[in-house]
Structure 1
Amino acid sequence: ENVGGYMVAFAGRKYAARSLPAFVANGTYIVTSFTLVMEFQKGRLQNLYWKRDGCSSCSGKSNFVCLNNQDCAIKTSSCKNRNQGGNVDCSIGIQLAFSGTDKHESVFNS
Structure 2
Amino acid sequence: MIPIFFALGLYNGTATLPTDHIQSAAQADGYSAAWTVPFAARAYIEMMKCSGSAEPLVRVLVNDRVVPLHGCNADKLGRCRRSDFVKALSFARSGGDWASCYTS
Verify same fold: TM over 0.5: no
TM-score by length of 2: 0.26
Higher strand residue share: 1
TM-score by length of 1: 0.26
Q: Which has the higher contact order (CA 8 A, sep 6+)?
A: 1
Higher helix residue share: 2
| Structure index of larger Rg | 1
